[in-house]
Each structure stands twice: as C-alpha cells, then as structure tokens.
C-alpha cells in the first residue's frame, strides 16, 4: 500500500537537473555501472533529451514534503517484433530511505498508464548487473518475465 502523500507526476526537460541528480546517485550506488557514472556529461544528456523530447519521458515520485524520492526515465522505442512502439525503462530509482514502501510499484503503475496513452504493446527493462536479484524480483512480482541478458558496446 503506497503512502497517500506520495504523488507521481511527469517531469519535463525544465526539471532535468532533478532527474539527472537522482540517476547519478543511483549510478554511484550500483558498483557495476560505476564506469557509466564517471562518464556522465550533463550538457550532452540535456541536448539529447531536448532533441528527442517527444519520446523521452521522466516520472518523479514526491514525498509528503514535495521532495523527489524516486525517479524513472522511459523512452519510446520501435520494433517489428513488438508490433510497433513499445516502452523501455532505462532508469528507475527510489531513494534508499523510501524503499520497500511501494514507491517503485507506484512509479511502475504510472509507466503503465503512460504506455496505455502512447499505445505501447509492451515494456522492456534491463535489471542492473549489481543487486540484480532484488531488482529482478521487484519486476517479476509485477508481471515482467525474464528476456535474456543485454550486451553493450561503447562508440567513441
């Protein structure tokens, strides 16, 4: 049961600093992704977000005092196997003091609502390599099924 004082809403590019700060904190916490955190380039992120504003979505959870206690970024993608447009959760983080209180689940619910509005056929997410068992359990509890590992290659 989520605290009724917790509110989820969409954030526009004007709130990008809040989103970037929350995600940077997450990356610092997840050891395995530390190399990505080290490479964070705020100006580059902002420029990319601005150029794709129609298909980049950020959601924030705010606590009783209106501070940001959780954040999610989701992008709209396309694939034939997905019958067209689908959503990809790229970041989802809840402040440590607020975990296990239903905030993550409330963010997922807001993402499903967004997906319904955008007519996405499905939502994909990659669990982080560190702490992945708990994160995987969190998603599986909400109906996500395992879809294989993810690979990456950096472009210089």
Ligand X SMILES: CC(C)(COP(=O)(O)OP(=O)(O)OC[C@H]1O[C@@H](n2cnc3c(N)ncnc32)[C@H](O)[C@@H]1OP(=O)(O)O)[C@@H](O)C(=O)NCCC(=O)NCCS
Number of residues that make up the chain: 156
Joined together, the tokens standing for residue 85 give 């447009």
**Residue 61 near residue 71, CB atoms below 8 Å:** yes
148, 79, 45, 10: CA torsion to nearest 10: -100
- 73 forms beta bridges with 58, 91
Q: For the chain, state the CA radius of gyration.
A: 15
Q: Which stretch binds ligand X (CB under 6 A): 5-13, 39-47, 49-57, 128-136?
A: 128-136
Quote the least distance from Cβ 103 to ligand X, whole Å: 4
User: Counting contacts by CB under 6 A, is residue 150 touching ligand X?
Assistant: no
CA distances from 83 to 80, 119, 148 (A): 5, 11, 19
Residue 147 C-beta: closest distance to ligand X, Å = 14
Q: How far is the CB of 17 from ligand X (least distance, A)?
A: 19
The one among 6, 8, 23, 93 contacting ligand X by CB under 6 A? 93
* Minimum distance from residue 80 beta carbon to ligand X (Å): 25
The C-alpha atoms of residue 74 and residue 57 are separated, in whole angstroms, by: 5
The residue within the footprint of ligand X, chosen from 42, 44, 137, 150 (CB under 6 A), is 137
Region near ligand X per CB under 6 A, out of 12-20, 37-45, 73-81, 91-99: 91-99
Which residues of this chain interact with ligand X, rule CB under 6 A? Answer: 26, 91-94, 99-105, 127-128, 131, 134-135, 137-138
């Amino acid at each position: 049961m989520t605290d009724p004082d917790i509110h989820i809403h969409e954030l526009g590019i004007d709130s990008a600093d809040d989103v970037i700060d929350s995600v940077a904190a997450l990356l610092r916490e997840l050891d395995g992704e530390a190399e990505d955190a080290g490479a964070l380039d705020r100006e580059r992120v902002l420029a990319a977000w601005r150029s794709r504003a129609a298909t980049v979505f950020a959601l924030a959870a705010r606590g009783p005092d209106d501070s940001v206690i959780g954040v999610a970024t989701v992008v709209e993608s396309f694939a034939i196997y997905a019958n067209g447009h689908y959503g990809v959760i790229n970041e989802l983080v809840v402040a440590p003091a607020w975990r296990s209180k239903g905030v993550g689940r409330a963010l997922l619910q807001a993402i499903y609502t967004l997906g319904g509005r955008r007519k996405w056929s499905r939502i994909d997410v990659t669990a982080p390599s560190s702490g992945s068992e708990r994160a995987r359990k969190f998603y599986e509890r909400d109906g996500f099924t395992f879809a294989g590992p993810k690979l990456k290659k950096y472009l210089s």
